[in-house]
Chain A
């Protein structure tokens, strides 16, 4: 199977970021059609029937998420999660720079479907350039009458605002994002209540990933059946896979869900330097490593990657060739999660700190066999005890590498033993 551009349409249409080009290719027509000829419930039903699932990592059915908003509580909000921060993920970066209007139109259609009149696009602080592009795109679309007050002569109003983060991985968690947007520390909230009931300013709110919303205009245009015909039964549509690390041509590749692993790797030119594959991390730094043996012939959808012992998440494939030291990999991810722990709960805050000390010793050649056992001990004290899922994410690489590539750990510990032996000789 080859590439199919439903959201990366700018790869086929030059200058799609320009409003005139976007409109010439059918842009904002679906929003206009929805607002002038459809009931909000019709839009919601199409998205529900399409089977679209969240592209930010959780894979939760999008239409269902929208339907959780109570009908008669106002105001409501759509918040676009453009806080792309998972190591190995760079799809929303490309989407917002190159195809911003499709994201904006998707967000506006979502707003119409749930009865929201304001959209906030929350961008990670490092997305300075993306924010400028989005702000300019919104300003132009608004000046042209595609967004704003009393759209197309109806009494429906949709205003879109771009709002900055300032550098915090945790703000990709939707309730932490909402706290950040309200001017609080970006730390997660206790659920329930879920954002659909009490989100931004305690009002009904849907938080959707950028790529998820970019799928909405084509779904509304071509219908649920069209979308369901792409991909697999439970994972319909395309997905942007971010390929990084040891591949010949790292980059974004949009393919139907269910595409076999080999087909995807072939698009990126395979493992670099003619080397063999050791493993991949299929959902960035937060996912368990999946060894090469389990990837052979694997159809890439949420169910089957989960069955292979990992998670498809946001489909951020960090490719690791045969020369990769898995202790070094886990040291890198541990360093990330320790740095990004929001500090709210102690298992994550303290646990990642101690995990980092152990890995520092191991990669410095100063670790021992006892340190290898200690990793499991610390993991047990973090697992299931964190306030939000991001604490447990820190355990994915340490646990899976220890289980699957124990020899790398033994070598690290033996290196220390040899050094010690020399020192004492």
Chain B
């Protein structure tokens, strides 16, 4: 059994149960999130394990993983900072604020900080244009950014990391819902 199956056995079954019998390929996005959480990023082994579980061609799973922006194909920092500088945010100063974010995190867009704590990425619209400048950190919204707010958050993240190094998973699904009856 691979790392994914030993880490998230129940979550895998619950994810597949969200879809009708024989349609397990529908669970590929959920499983890729879980694989990302288990492996840290989508290594070839992670892709192979997902394709084995879902009876999918590894090439297809690799294609799916490459198609979407939230799947990480190389190692990232413990905090993945996705900063929006798309048009609506940029109209409210997001381009000007970007160097402030880069300086405080200690990495430029597309890079990971030397301590391995942060990866900064510039991303397209995150559907929170009324709170620019804004970003998501491991998919949690951080809105209405100011230098002071950012200082406080960075200090908090550093303190957390010092006490308890962040787990590798930047993001991944927790246990999928048990809300609906499994199909079949």
Contact between chains at B69 and A159 (CB < 8 Å):
no
Instruction: With both chains docked as a complex, state the minimum distance between the C-beta of A37 and any C-beta of chain B, in angstroms.
Output: 25
Instruction: Report 21 cross-chain contacts, Cβ distance below 8 Å, ordered by A residue.
Output: A89-B129, A139-B178, A148-B180, A163-B30, A164-B29, A168-B67, A182-B26, A183-B26, A183-B54, A184-B64, A185-B64, A201-B23, A244-B92, A245-B87, A245-B129, A250-B92, A285-B87, A318-B88, A318-B129, A336-B125, A339-B124
Instruction: With both chains docked as a complex, state the minimum distance between the C-beta of A132 and any C-beta of chain B, in angstroms.
Output: 8
Q: Which of A142, A246, A332 contacts B180 (CB 8 A)?
A: A142
The distance in angstroms between the C-alpha atoms of A246 and B88, with both chains bound, is: 9
Cβ-based interface call for B70 (8 A): yes
Cβ-based interface call for A129 (8 A): yes
Contact between chains at B124 and A242 (CB < 8 Å):
no
Measured between beta carbons, the chain B residues less than 8 angstroms from A181 are 26
Instruction: With both chains docked as a complex, state the minimum distance between the C-beta of B130 and any C-beta of chain A, in angstroms.
Output: 4
Of B106-114, B135-143, B153-161, the one with at least 4 CB within 8 A of chain A: B135-143
Cβ-based interface call for B127 (8 A): yes
Instruction: With both chains docked as a complex, state the minimum distance between the C-beta of A401 and any C-beta of chain B, in angstroms.
Output: 12
- With contacts A168-B68, A201-B23, A340-B124 known, is A185 near B63, CB below 8 A? yes
The distance in angstroms between the C-alpha atoms of A201 and B92, with both chains bound, is: 43
Measured between beta carbons, the chain A residues less than 8 angstroms from B176 are 135
Cβ-based interface call for A85 (8 A): yes
Contact between chains at B177 and A138 (CB < 8 Å):
yes
Cβ-based interface call for B145 (8 A): no
Q: How would residues 94 to 135 of chain B score, 1 for a CB under 8 Å from any chain A CB and 0 otherwise?
A: 000000000000000000000000000000111111111000
Contact between chains at A166 and B179 (CB < 8 Å):
no
Contact between chains at B67 and A201 (CB < 8 Å):
no
Q: Which of B29, B63, B180 has the most CB of A within 10 A?
A: B180
Contact between chains at B91 and A87 (CB < 8 Å):
no
Q: Which of A126, A160, A183 contacts B28 (CB 8 A)?
A: A183
- With contacts A149-B181, A318-B87 known, is A126 near B70, CB below 8 A? yes
Q: Which of B82, B124, B136, B173 contacts A87 (CB 8 A)?
A: B124
The A158-177 residues at the B interface (CB cut-off 8 A) are 159-169
Measured between beta carbons, the chain A residues less than 8 angstroms from B139 are 125-126, 128-129
Contact between chains at B91 and A126 (CB < 8 Å):
no
Contact between chains at A166 and B88 (CB < 8 Å):
no
Measured between beta carbons, the chain B residues less than 8 angstroms from A251 are 130
Instruction: With both chains docked as a complex, state the minimum distance between the C-beta of A149 and any C-beta of chain B, in angstroms.
Output: 6
Measured between beta carbons, the chain B residues less than 8 angstroms from A118 are 20
Contact between chains at B90 and A332 (CB < 8 Å):
yes
Instruction: With both chains docked as a complex, state the minimum distance between the C-beta of A179 and any C-beta of chain B, in angstroms.
Output: 10
The distance in angstroms between the C-alpha atoms of A185 and B173, with both chains bound, is: 20
The distance in angstroms between the C-alpha atoms of A26 and B181, with both chains bound, is: 26
- With contacts A86-B125, A125-B68, A128-B171 known, is A243 near B130, CB below 8 A? yes
User: What would 19 more interface pairs be, CB under 8 Å, given A135-B179, A242-B130, A332-B86?
Assistant: A87-B124, A118-B20, A125-B139, A129-B140, A135-B177, A161-B180, A163-B18, A166-B70, A167-B70, A168-B67, A168-B68, A182-B23, A183-B29, A184-B25, A185-B67, A244-B130, A250-B129, A329-B87, A332-B90
Measured between beta carbons, the chain B residues less than 8 angstroms from A332 are 86-87, 90
The distance in angstroms between the C-alpha atoms of A146 and B87, with both chains bound, is: 41
Cβ-based interface call for B83 (8 A): no
Cβ-based interface call for A88 (8 A): yes
- In the complex, which range does the number of interface residues on chain B fall in? 35 or more
Contact between chains at B140 and A245 (CB < 8 Å):
no
Contact between chains at B88 and A244 (CB < 8 Å):
yes
Which 7 pairs from chain A and chain B are nearest by CB? A183-B25, A166-B68, A167-B69, A139-B179, A244-B129, A128-B139, A87-B125
The distance in angstroms between the C-alpha atoms of A187 and B28, with both chains bound, is: 16
Contact between chains at B181 and A182 (CB < 8 Å):
no
Measured between beta carbons, the chain B residues less than 8 angstroms from A212 are none
The distance in angstroms between the C-alpha atoms of A90 and B84, with both chains bound, is: 14
Contact between chains at B91 and A244 (CB < 8 Å):
yes
Cβ-based interface call for B79 (8 A): no
Contact between chains at B29 and A165 (CB < 8 Å):
yes
Instruction: With both chains docked as a complex, state the minimum distance between the C-beta of B135 and any C-beta of chain A, in angstroms.
Output: 11
Q: How would residues 9 to 44 of chain B score, 1 for a CB under 8 Å from any chain A CB and 0 otherwise?
A: 000000000111001011111101100000000000
Instruction: With both chains docked as a complex, state the minimum distance between the C-beta of B172 and any C-beta of chain A, in angstroms.
Output: 10
Q: Which of A139, A165, A324, A339 contacts B91 (CB 8 A)?
A: A324
Q: Which of A166, A242, A324 contacts B69 (CB 8 A)?
A: A166
The distance in angstroms between the C-alpha atoms of A75 and B19, with both chains bound, is: 13
Measured between beta carbons, the chain A residues less than 8 angstroms from B54 are 183
The distance in angstroms between the C-alpha atoms of A324 and B28, with both chains bound, is: 43
The distance in angstroms between the C-alpha atoms of A251 and B88, with both chains bound, is: 12
